[in-house]
Structure formats: C-alpha cells, structure tokens
Amino acid sequence: MKKHQFYFVPIILASLLIGCQNTPDVATAEKMVREFNAKLQQQPYQTFEQNTSPDYVFINGEGGFVTKEQMVGMAKDLKFEKWDLQDLKVRALDNVLVATGVNHHSILGTDGKVSSFQTAFTYIYQVKGGKLEQITMQHTHVQKETNEE
C-alpha cells in the first residue's frame, strides 16, 4: 500500500503544477477578453457559433434567458456599431475567466435604426487550448435603450 502512495503523491503534485500553468496572469487574461470582444464586434455570428460553449446562456437586461441556438439565430443579422468594455476587471481562476464592467452598445437593426444602451456586465469564459470559450453573458441595464435613425 505504501508503495502505491509513493507514486500517487508525485502524480497529484504534477497535476497541480500543470493546472497552475493554465492560469493566465491578469494582463494576459484582460488581453484575451478584449480580443474576444473585438472578434465579437466584427463577426458576431461566427463568434457565437464557434466560441461559445454548447450550454451557453445569455441573461439579458430584462432577466430573460437566451440559449446558444437562439443567440446564433439572432446574430445572423446583428451588426455592432459600438461595443466597448469600460471599467473592465478580469479575474483568472485556473482555466476560468470572469470579466465585469460597463458596456456601451450601439447595434444597427435590420430596420436601419441604431439602438444604443449601457449595461453592466458579467462574462464568464473558459480557456480551452489557449483560446476563450464564452460560457455565459449577463447584462443589467444601466441606461435605457435609445433609438436613432
């Protein structure tokens, strides 16, 4: 029995060290989140399709739940005029990143009108193969929506 315990301890230590190596530092984590956000602005459909988890959920400003399938469907016609991350704070927890802050959104609708609003957000990602996969996105309205033509 002691012989097996001898082998078990180095395996546990090695797995802990490998796990710690997956945790990005704060600067790297923030850069990863900003790069994900830039990709989302440029290619919303592809980003939601390829870079979100299968059980992804968006919790909108009204408290409603939107699944990945629903989000991908909405993103086909989605065009962002603006989607900035202000007061961004990122916390890395092993292979999970939690990002919070305030977003100023401007979205061009299919009717040609621009909807603008401000939300406080919480985004949760997992790091897979050095890339981010978004698990959930949550918004709380800070400023109500305005419409412009």
pLDDT digits over 15-47, tens only? 444 444 567 888 989 999 999 988 888 888 899
Does pLDDT of 9 surpass 70? no
- What's the pLDDT at 149? 58
Tell me what the pLDDT averaged over the chain comes to. 81
Tokens of 129: 């193969």
- Better-scored residue on pLDDT, 146 or 11: 146
Neighbours of 99 (CB within 10 A): 24
User: 13: which residues sit within 8 A by CB, 6+ positions away?
Assistant: none
Residue 72 one-letter amino acid: V
Q: How far is CA 5 from CA 12, 17, 70, in A?
A: 11, 19, 50
83 vs 33 pLDDT, higher one: 33
Strand extents, DSSP E, the chain: 52-59, 65-67, 79-93, 96-108, 114-128, 131-148
Q: What is the pTM of this model?
A: 0.77
Residue 98 is predicted with a pLDDT of: 94
Residue 116's pLDDT is what?
A: 83
Across 88-97, average pLDDT: 91
